[in-house]
């Protein structure tokens, strides 16, 4: 549900940069989304088509670069990918874990037509 506000924010940011760079239109948006960011790319896509209509971003393509959730075990220094729910270190079963990545939620670049 919160994807609508997020998509609106995305449209504003992309349109700002497009105008600053004197774009005629935006062709592609490259996004980075971490698995733990709580953002669902399909809903972003759904809202995007709705709200980008009649804007400089109309008919632009969203590219999602999805980043895995990587954990580090503080007991044995093992780094591992989290599969779904929070789970213990697969090599030593410790729950003393830290997050290394997976929170990302960025607009990395846009491709425009001048």
Using CB under 8 A, list all residues that contact another protein.
1-2, 5-6, 9-10, 12-13, 17-18, 21, 23, 27-28, 31, 36-39, 85-86, 95-99, 103, 105-114
Residues 6 or more apart whose CB falls under 8 angstroms from that of 1 comprise none
In the complex, minimum distance from the CB of residue 83 to another protein, in angstroms, rounded to a whole number:
13
Q: Which is nearer to another protein, 66 or 99 (CB)?
A: 99
Taking the complex as a whole, the smallest distance from the CB of residue 36 to another protein amounts, in Å, to 6
Q: Which two tokens stand for residue 21?
A: 């760079």
DSSP β-bridge partners for residue 31: 64, 107
In whole angstroms, the minimum distance from the beta carbon of 54 to another protein comes to 21
Across 103-113, b (16+ Cβ under 10 Å) vs e yields ebeeeeebebe
């Amino acid at each position: 549900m919160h994807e609508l506000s997020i998509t609106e924010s995305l449209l504003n940011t992309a349109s700002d940069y497009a105008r600053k760079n004197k774009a005629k239109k935006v062709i592609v948006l490259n996004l980075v989304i971490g698995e733990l960011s709580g953002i669902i790319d399909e809903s972003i896509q759904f809202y995007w088509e709705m709200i980008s209509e009649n804007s400089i971003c109309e008919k632009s393509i969203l590219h999602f670069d999805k980043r895995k959730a990587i954990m580090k075990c503080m007991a044995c220094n093992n780094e591992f990918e989290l599969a779904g729910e929070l789970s213990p270190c697969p090599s030593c079963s410790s729950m003393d874990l830290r997050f290394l990545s997976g929170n990302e939620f960025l607009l990395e670049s846009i491709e425009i037509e001048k």
